[in-house]
Amino acid sequence: MKNSGPEPKTEDQGESLLLLQRRLVITTLCLLIGYLVVQLAVTFSDILRILAISIFFTYTVSGFVDSLEKACGKRILAVLAVYGMLAVLTIFGIVLLVPAMMVQLSELLNSTINQLPLWADNLGAMSGPLEATLARYHLPNLQEVISSLAGNLPRPDGNAIVGQMAAVAMSTMTWIVYGLSVMVLTFYFLQGGSSMVSSLVDLLPEARRGPARTVLSEINVSLHAFFRGQIVLGLLFGVFMVVVYMVLGVQYALALGLFLGVWEIVPVIGPTLGFLPALLSVILTGMSNLPADRIVQVLILLVVFNLLQWIKDNIVAPRYIGDAIGLHPVLIFLAIMIGARLDGMLGIIVSLPVAGALGVLFRHLIACRRDLPAEAAADSPQG
């Protein structure tokens, strides 16, 4: 009588094939859902942009609202008080800061453009040995080529550019609608955002509510840490650098410091990009309060900035926020590039908390997948 040994192997192959088919179906569905999500995001990009800005402001000021609520006892009064303070700060910025920043940005732009021919001449003067070599081989003179290129560069009017940008931004009806929509949504999020999330969780099956609340709680902690740390701490660092620039005698200190504060929001590459205009300003105009050679001034500015940045990143930030996003720098950089491609600077800022939230969700999905075999073994009947 022949042995029927190969049958279990055939059954195992059938189970493996069925498992592979399921994975292919799930992967296809995930890709399809992702494609639909992207299409919906493109279609409703304006609504998503308003929603993202509203969440941005909600998490930024929620700590102040919580503190005021403990003092006055009512949430709505705390929200209205924060709105009043923001209105005063906005009026102050429009009346005083914005005109001063526009003047400084215009002067920096014009100064950079006017210095280009001088740079070209200096570079050409320092290239004597190279010019001798070029002349020996009957090649064009390097100084003439550089001076010609620099002289032919367009010279836009910085005042006109900044003025037109401000006029378009202030007169566009879209921005008014955006602003009103953001104010309304932020008000409702601050007043009853937690109850809205709880209502959505209650729609899930009872067995899923506990894990959903755990995931949402961790995402909420991550978002609070990011907005409280990266944004508030970054902007405060920018304001502090305005004072540092003024003490050192850096021209355009107000515009350069606030520009740095905005870029401090972006991890990894943000501080470097935000510092480059200040470095360019010192290279062009020097520091009025520091009598030293231009190269020495540049080195001093580099040392001061890197020292203060190190103190912020390694002493202040860990105690204040810890690891806000919890992602590898490579993943952060990829998220920044994707956000910049989708929606510019706003996309960069929004991409980081979204990446952090997806990281929390992914970790929980992996943990649930690891727990499934243990739960199945515990529920199986004992032989």
Whether 271 maps to a domain, the answer reads no
Tokens 């190269």 sit on residue: 295
Whether 141 maps to a domain, the answer reads yes
Tokens 């727990």 sit on residue: 371
Torsion angle in degrees (nearest 10) through CA of 228, 85, 193, 220: 0
Whether 139 maps to a domain, the answer reads yes
Model pLDDT, residue 304: 92
Asked if 262 and 220 touch (Cβ cutoff 8 Å), the reply is no
Crossing angle of helices 253-263/270-285, nearest 10°?
Answer: 160
Whether 203 maps to a domain, the answer reads no
Asked if 143 and 132 touch (Cβ cutoff 8 Å), the reply is no
Length of the chain: 383
Task: Output the CA–CA distances (angstroms, integers) from residue 120 to 115, 116, 143, 162, 174, in the order listed.
Answer: 9, 6, 7, 26, 43
Asked if 363 and 221 touch (Cβ cutoff 8 Å), the reply is no
Largest CA distance in the chain: 104
Whether 67 maps to a domain, the answer reads yes
Whether 87 maps to a domain, the answer reads yes
* Integer Cα distance of 199 and 185 in angstroms: 17
> What is the pLDDT tens value at each position of the chain, 383 positions in all?
455 555 555 666 667 777 777 778 888 888 888 788 778 777 777 788 888 888 888 887 887 888 888 888 888 888 888 888 888 888 877 777 767 777 777 776 777 677 666 666 665 565 566 566 666 666 655 556 555 655 555 555 555 555 565 555 555 667 777 788 888 888 888 887 777 777 777 777 887 778 788 888 888 877 777 777 677 788 888 889 999 999 998 888 888 888 888 888 777 678 888 899 888 888 878 888 888 888 888 899 999 999 998 888 777 776 665 555 667 777 777 887 887 787 777 777 777 788 878 888 888 777 776 665 555 455 555 54
Domain that holds residue 66: 45-148+155-191
Model pLDDT, residue 303: 93
Model pLDDT, residue 383: 45
List helix spans (H) across the chain.
6-43, 45-72, 75-92, 98-125, 128-136, 142-151, 158-171, 173-202, 206-226, 234-248, 253-263, 270-285, 294-311, 317-320, 329-379
Whether 208 maps to a domain, the answer reads no
Whether 82 maps to a domain, the answer reads yes
Q: How many domains does the chain have?
A: 1
Asked if 249 and 331 touch (Cβ cutoff 8 Å), the reply is no
The overall pTM is greater than 0.75: no
